[in-house]
A and B are shown apart, each in its own frame.
Chain A
């Protein structure tokens, strides 16, 4: 028995070592960083302990811009992508021909490199001296003037940003909802057919309650994912997101850590903890709402 006891720990050892070094220790360390005032990464010294880092971050206009951008992305993309995913998977569940093909096509963006495909989106939307770009060409058919979606007005940039985000996150949501819809018991639908229940009622009384756990799972993970938006922004607007006015909270954290404005792990830590607090609050609210509405 004794030999067995130690061998169990032996199997766990690599995982414990790696997680300890790169997850548990950093977790404690980030809290320490966030309260060390005036930390100097070159000399590794600091002059005091307090909440100055937090107040500095909250007064930084770049952080406020990042906060605003992130919230707009969250507020637009979470409902739009969830709604669109629901619409698409509902239609998918009702067809037989070409269903596999559609499912495969819809899943493609999941396996593509965000940075690489973002470049294609940039080209489609960008205005250059040579060409207004394909999207502007299509807009001009409806008589609207050319807009530079990549270097132009804020609303235009935000539109591309949200559009690309929805394009990227949709595959996962469609996949989850399609499998949730497939597992709704056929007897319910047959009973509703016999009773001549109208489509809309079938949807609100049978389909929606049945898939509500998965729907809420998607909403919760959708919120968390959208709050961490960063790579998609870089893909469209380049690494200098502050210059483009399109930075996000996560982007701000990395900029503080490294890059042109880098070398301030304390500010990065404070910003990361602020982000964590926001995400945690939203998730708790989501869970409270879901407890009221989800039928398990």
Chain B
């Protein structure tokens, strides 16, 4: 065998090995993609099946030729899904706005303003990041109950509005903006507040958008605190609503209507995710935590 032939043989074998590895790779990724997507497919499929048809399928069918939207109408008329939905939108909007109103000035104070005790307070803030919610939720529950704020938006929103972590993220970001800009603005006689709102916030918009989206996701999926604080259906958020629907709603067997409710609840965040995909993923890898 000549050297050239041997070289060609080795190259062929290497290429075959590469192809085999690539095939294994795509198979593996494909399998997991199916596992991830299948529940979504199943909820949409089930939500358009007819109640009677669904219950007569001993062997579940993987598709339906007679899709119906009746379940969606049921989801909004038989149970108060619309109410839960509006509650969640209000809760999410107000909590996120309040979070911004609290964290942006605080981050600005830590990043740019000089006053006595600033660094000490900042260290104390950082220490608070290590405190698990489970520890403080007990007293918060008692506080809110004693104040008579159960089943109110105030009681729902106030304890969950601040986030030390977002203050920290924003402070870091504000700190990266050259201090010369701040000094120049001061020389021009711009007030701190005006500088913050007209200069710093626009420059740091990407970070602010990121924490806003993360907070929206958190609010939309909030379950534990709303469950403790609300037992009046009129104040349920979607997570509690879906639990209520499951236990007392359509009757345990009306799975298709339940799935329609699940689809309605899931769609807003999925749409948000598909629009802001890059931003959300970058934001989460920089500082997202689940739960």
Number of interface residues of B (CB under 8 A): 91
If A22-B158, A172-B290, A268-B138 touch, whether A124 touches B39 (CB-CB below 8 Å) is yes
Contacts of B132 in A (CB 8 A): 224, 228, 275-276, 279
Find the B residue at minimum CB distance from A14: B102
Contact B128 A23 (CB under 8 A): yes
Contact stretch, chosen from A70-78, A251-259, A284-292: A251-259
Contacts of B161 in A (CB 8 A): 18
If A12-B106, A106-B32 touch, whether A27 touches B138 (CB-CB below 8 Å) is no
Contact A22 B281 (CB under 8 A): no
If A131-B59, A169-B290, A225-B290 touch, whether A105 touches B159 (CB-CB below 8 Å) is no
Contacts of B76 in A (CB 8 A): none
Of A4, A167, A265, which contacts B35 at CB under 8 A? Answer: A167
Q: When each residue 66-94 of chain B gets 1 if its CB lies under 8 Å from chain A and 0 otherwise, what string results?
A: 00000000000000000000000000000
Contacts of A168 in B (CB 8 A): 290
If A18-B161, A265-B142 touch, whether A119 touches B29 (CB-CB below 8 Å) is no
Contact A11 B108 (CB under 8 A): yes
Whole-angstrom distance between the alpha carbons of A124 and B273 in the complex?
25
Whole-angstrom distance between the alpha carbons of A234 and B116 in the complex?
47
Does B65 sit at the interface, judged by CB under 8 A? no
Interface residues on chain A, size class: 35 or more
Of B109, B135, B223, B243, which contacts A273 at CB under 8 A? Answer: B135
Contact A94 B242 (CB under 8 A): no
Contact B59 A95 (CB under 8 A): no
Interface of B is mostly: helix
Of A4, A25, A103, A275, which contacts B139 at CB under 8 A? Answer: A25
Contact B29 A92 (CB under 8 A): yes
Find the A residue at minimum CB distance from B88: A113
Contact stretch, chosen from B1-9, B176-184, B199-207, B263-271: B263-271
Of A88, A92, A113, which contacts B269 at CB under 8 A? Answer: A113
Does B123 sit at the interface, judged by CB under 8 A? no
Contact A23 B131 (CB under 8 A): yes
Does A194 sit at the interface, judged by CB under 8 A? no
Does A197 sit at the interface, judged by CB under 8 A? no
Contact A11 B106 (CB under 8 A): yes
Whole-angstrom distance between the alpha carbons of A9 and B101 in the complex?
15
Residue among A91, A257, A265 with the highest chain B CB neighbour number at 10 A: A91
Contact B164 A5 (CB under 8 A): no
Of B113, B114, B116, B139, which contacts A29 at CB under 8 A? Answer: B139
Whole-angstrom distance between the alpha carbons of A26 and B114 in the complex?
30
Interface of A is mostly: helix
Q: When each residue 92-126 of chain A gets 1 if its CB lies under 8 Å from chain B and 0 otherwise, what string results?
A: 10110010001111111111111111011101100
Whole-angstrom distance between the alpha carbons of A48 and B148 in the complex?
28
Of A102, A176, A257, which contacts B141 at CB under 8 A? Answer: A257
If A113-B239, A228-B132 touch, whether A94 touches B25 (CB-CB below 8 Å) is yes
Contact A12 B228 (CB under 8 A): no
Does A19 sit at the interface, judged by CB under 8 A? yes
Contact A116 B285 (CB under 8 A): no
Whole-angstrom distance between the alpha carbons of A224 and B261 in the complex?
32
Contacts of B56 in A (CB 8 A): 130
Contact A269 B25 (CB under 8 A): no
Contact B228 A254 (CB under 8 A): yes
| B157 CB to nearest A CB, Å | 10
Does B262 sit at the interface, judged by CB under 8 A? yes
Contact A106 B239 (CB under 8 A): no
| A201 CB to nearest B CB, Å | 16
Contact A108 B134 (CB under 8 A): no
Does B28 sit at the interface, judged by CB under 8 A? yes
Does A213 sit at the interface, judged by CB under 8 A? no
Contacts of B33 in A (CB 8 A): 102, 105-106
Find the B residue at minimum CB distance from A250: B134
Contact B103 A272 (CB under 8 A): no
If A7-B113, A22-B136 touch, whether A116 touches B280 (CB-CB below 8 Å) is no
Known: A27-B135, A116-B261, A231-B223. 15 other contacts (CB 8 A): A11-B106, A12-B109, A12-B121, A15-B103, A98-B26, A106-B36, A113-B238, A116-B266, A117-B262, A131-B59, A179-B285, A225-B290, A238-B243, A253-B138, A254-B228
For the complex of A and B, the 3 pairs showing the least CB-CB separation, nearest first, are A8-B115, A26-B139, A26-B136
